[in-house]
Amino acid sequence: MRSLPGVSAHDWNSELRMRYLQAGSGPPLLLLHGFMGYSFSWRHNLVPLSKIATVYAPDLPGTGYSDRVYDINTDLTVRAEHMLRFMDAMKMERADILGTSLGGALAVMLAVLCEKKYPGRVRRLILVDPVNPWSPHGEQITRIGATALGTLALRLSFPAIKSMQRLFLTRMYGDRHRISPGTLKGYTAPLDHPQTINYAISVVRSWHNNLQKLRTAYEQLADVRTLLIWGDRDRAVFAKSAYEVQKRLRNSELVMMKGVGHLPYEEVPEQFNKTVTRFLNS
């Protein structure tokens, strides 16, 4: 990723080395990317949001330029505990958390953990088409992928999957003409690491267990002030599930972006940044 003005890269070492980007000053804002994304996902948002917050954008372990291991654990509870230790290390006594897709599900689990241990530590949540139990997309393929035969098929097909990144990326957008130059290259670069496939397999294997946890987790955050952002052309986490999520989060507002897919922060970054800034400033 090309360097961005005012954005610096750092390493944090816990069980694994985790790379993160930091920018700005003010109240902390933690950005959690989605499945197979990394801090690159926020390239259009880091600088604008750094004008109102100290922004932290990690490459979650197993992704981007953070460490990878063969037996990485992608259980959302384990990952939330890891991110809480990161918040401690960064001295985030109170923080806003913004998560997208699988990172949105992680944001939910992290907020639940914080509410149990340190009530009020999460000031507000911003969830961008977060993974949730009310969107059935991918249910069958993850069940198959979690089997021994499915795991073998994933390993054997991973080189082909990498070559199909353009197709996958196109499906993530509501309008493929909005894909900015360098996007495909940016997402493809970290996939060459030999342990990347183990992260993907772990996510698939833990998928349904994580969904069960999320079913109760959303209920536990009923009173946390939350902004929900969705693209109405989202093919990954169906837009109709937004209303089921909103039912559980009583203190939430929903912004449905017209003609937008699964990655509104990339597809319509100016609209996205204005929406987030308005919420954080209100």
Which pLDDT belongs to residue 34? 96
SS3 255: strand
Query: Using CA of residue 58, residue 188, residue 139, residue 199, what is the dihedral sign?
Result: negative
Residue 142's pLDDT is what? Answer: 66
d(CA 52, CA 61): 27
Q: What's the pLDDT at 15?
A: 79
Q: What is the pLDDT of residue 71?
A: 86
pLDDT at 180: 93
Q: How far apart are CA 47 and CA 4, in angstroms?
A: 7
DSSP string, 98-126: EEETHHHHHHHHHHHHHHHHSTT-EEEEE
Per-residue pLDDT of the chain (282 residues; tens, 9 = 90+): 667 889 999 999 887 899 999 999 999 999 999 998 999 999 999 999 999 999 999 999 999 999 988 889 999 999 999 999 999 999 999 999 999 999 999 999 999 999 999 999 999 999 999 999 999 866 666 666 667 776 777 677 776 666 667 788 899 999 999 999 999 999 888 887 778 888 888 998 899 999 999 999 999 999 999 999 999 999 999 999 999 999 999 999 999 999 999 999 999 999 999 999 999 998
Q: What is the pLDDT of residue 1?
A: 60
* pLDDT number for residue 192: 77
139, 173, 162, 130: which is closest to 259 by C-alpha?
A: 173
pLDDT at 162: 66
Q: How far apart are CA 221 and CA 89, in angstroms?
A: 24
Domain 7-281 bears CATH identifier 3.40.50.1820: yes
> pLDDT for 129-140, tens place per residue?
999 999 986 666
**Residue 169 has what pLDDT?**
87
